[in-house]
Amino acid sequence: METELMSPAGNFESLQAALNAGADSVYFGVEQLNMRARATMNFTTEDLQEIAARCHASNAKAYLTLNTIVYDHDLSLVKTIITEAVSAGIDAVIASDQAVIANARSLGMEVHISTQLNITNLETVRFYSLFADVMVLSRELSLRQIKAICDGIRTEQIKGPSGKLIEIEVFAHGALCMAVSGKCYLSLHTQNSSANRGACVQNCRRSYTVIDNEEGHELEIDNEFIMSPKDLCTLPFLDQLLDTGVKVLKIEGRGKSADYVQTVTACYREAIDAWKAGTYSSDKTDHWMKRMEEVYNRGFWGGYYLGTELGEWTNAAGSSATVRKIYLGRGHHYYPKSKIAEFKIETYPLSVGDRIMVIGNKIGVVETTITSLHVNEEGAKDTAQKGDLCAFPFEQAIHPSDKLYKVVPAEQTNE
Amino acid sequence: MITITQQRARCIGCNYCVEAAPHRWRMSKRDGRSVLIDAKERRGFWTVKVTEEELAANEKAAQLCPVKIITVKQL
């Protein structure tokens, strides 16, 4: 059985990064009816053709999230979006509202059940098998419970509309919610901004003080951000997770940057391939974990899969990533024969030996280290300053919209 | 007079402005975003001038809007 690695895309940079890093499928949202409606970088329906084309060119599938709660005034937009997705060749819609599920089925679109429906048992799988071929399970289940559901699908031959056995999907990596996945009222309660319409303001990520109303004593609870879970990471026990029989591993993060998508997708790609080849080992896991610690994270824990511990909470407000990227400048020209890229430096100096990252809509994310620099008309130099045009060897063609970043240890930017 | 402005493209269709000021706002059945009734569009911003009577309800709408795309100004 093939395992499918599903990556998030909030824009074309992330989409390309996911495909370059080896994702088997990509999920994304358009317009306002998805769980990242607040993100300014959402795609529009006009992007559907290009998204499908890019995914299919990489032999990957493209899934459209349409998983908020839906009101009467949204029904026409739902139909419009699904109709356009069908004609663009999008492979499936990820849905939770029954109106969306019914609409997608009537328009001949494959349906995947969203985490917003929180499937936690086999009978619910059987119920939704009338409409959907792939279902993501609730993030709160243990490995044992997941295995029981996967086994049940096989022994009871529960099939979806396609006639194939239901495929079970689970979240493998990314942010966790303090509430049962997504079913949270906190953001609506304090900011009138509903998480269930994709507008969560993430106020759970802050620190809170408990006040004794009788005597006014203020308590900070063990100095922890008690409503902010660490990020889910299943890499250290990916073999056990895959052994349950799950088919699709989903990475959270449509609101995250392209380099995050690239790094996390690449690590899970290598891990899945190693598991298939029988070479998955703790040495390799250590290496992947180090790489993933470099990008945005709130610290890692195994979620509820191992079933032994309740929540683990973060002890910091933001990311614990071990490296940061600093914006240096934009693409200027590419010399394809000599494979030299030229950038205009707009902010900080770039030196030989620096680790860099180029991020753009077409190339996704490409990392390398500067081995030589040619600055303005002055020839080879060790450092390029703000305002300089600098050139260096770079394997892939760059574009004027591509951004150049320097990658530095996190401590260096905190000083 | 007061001026109400909406940056419509960023609307997520939550319906709160309609609840707060139903005479000035309605939900579009076409694209699911809210419509500022009688407003004119200029560079993505929809604007209408109305009387003081509507001030309180529309200030409430602006305050409730989760994506903060409504402004109400007194002239």
pLDDT in tens, A321-375: 888 888 999 999 999 999 999 999 999 999 999 999 999 999 999 999 999 999 9
Q: Would you state the torsion angle of the CA atoms of residues A295, A297, A300, A306, taken in this order, to the nearest 10 degrees?
A: -100
Could you tell me if B16 lies within 8 Å of chain A, comparing CB atoms?
yes
Contact A73 B12 (CB under 8 A): no
- State yes or no: pLDDT of A212 exceeds 90: no
- pLDDT at position A259, please? 94
Chain A interface mutation, best of B12, B31, B60, B70, highest count of A Cβ atoms under 10 Å: B12
- pLDDT at position A399, please? 94
Residues of B in contact with A77 (CB under 8 A): 13, 30-32
Between A101 and A32, the higher pLDDT residue: A101
CA-based nearest residue in chain B for residue A188? B66
- Mean pLDDT over the full length of chain A: 90
**Class of the A4-177+229-314 domain?**
alpha beta
Model confidence pLDDT, tens digit, residues A162-172 = 999 999 999 99
Residues of B in contact with A74 (CB under 8 A): 13, 32
A311 pLDDT band (50/70/90 cuts)? Answer: low
Q: Which two tokens stand for residue B74?
A: 């007194």
List chain B domain ranges: 2-74
Contact B64 A40 (CB under 8 A): no
A221 pLDDT band (50/70/90 cuts)? Answer: low
The amino acid that residue A265 corresponds to is T
User: pTM for the full model?
Assistant: 0.84
Chain B interface mutation, best of A30, A31, A32, highest count of B Cβ atoms under 10 Å: A32
List chain A domain ranges: 4-177+229-314, 186-228, 323-414
Residues of A in contact with B28 (CB under 8 A): 73
**A148-152, A224-228, A353-357, A383-387: range with lowest mean pLDDT:** A224-228
Phi, psi (deg, nearest 5) at residue A399: -125, 160
**A112-121, A217-226, A265-274, A323-332: range with lowest mean pLDDT:** A217-226
Could you tell me if B37 lies within 8 Å of chain A, comparing CB atoms?
no
Q: Which of A65, A60, A54, A63 is nearest to A22 (CA)?
A: A60
- pLDDT at position A86, please? 97
User: What integer is the mean pLDDT of A16-28?
Assistant: 97
- pLDDT at position A414, please? 43
A82 pLDDT band (50/70/90 cuts)? Answer: very high
Distance of CA A235 to CAs A91, A102, A139, A248, A281, Å? 27, 36, 16, 14, 10
- CATH 3.30.70.20 fits domain B2-74: yes
- State yes or no: pLDDT of A413 exceeds 60: no
Could you tell me if B27 lies within 8 Å of chain A, comparing CB atoms?
yes
List the strands of the sheet with B2-7, edge to edge: B40-42, B45-50, B2-7, B70-74
Find the CB nearest A192 among B29, B33, B64.
B64
- pLDDT at position A415, please? 37
Model confidence pLDDT, tens digit, residues B31-73 = 999 999 999 999 999 999 999 999 999 999 999 999 999 999 9
**A71-80, A220-229, A294-303, A397-406: range with lowest mean pLDDT:** A220-229
- State yes or no: pLDDT of A400 exceeds 50: yes
Could you tell me if B22 lies within 8 Å of chain A, comparing CB atoms?
no
Between CA A13 and CA A27 the distance in angstroms is: 14
- pLDDT at position A87, please? 97
Q: Which of B30, B25, B31, B22 is nearest to B69 (CA)?
A: B25
CB atoms within 10 A of CB A24: 22
CB atoms within 10 A of CB A156: 12
Model confidence pLDDT, tens digit, residues A169-184 = 999 999 888 777 777 8
**A152-156, A339-343, A408-412: range with lowest mean pLDDT:** A408-412
Looking at the complex, report in whole angstroms how far the Cα of residue B22 sits from the nearest Cα belonging to chain A. 14
- What fold does the segment set A323-414 form as a domain? Elongation Factor Tu (Ef-tu); domain 3 (2.40.30)
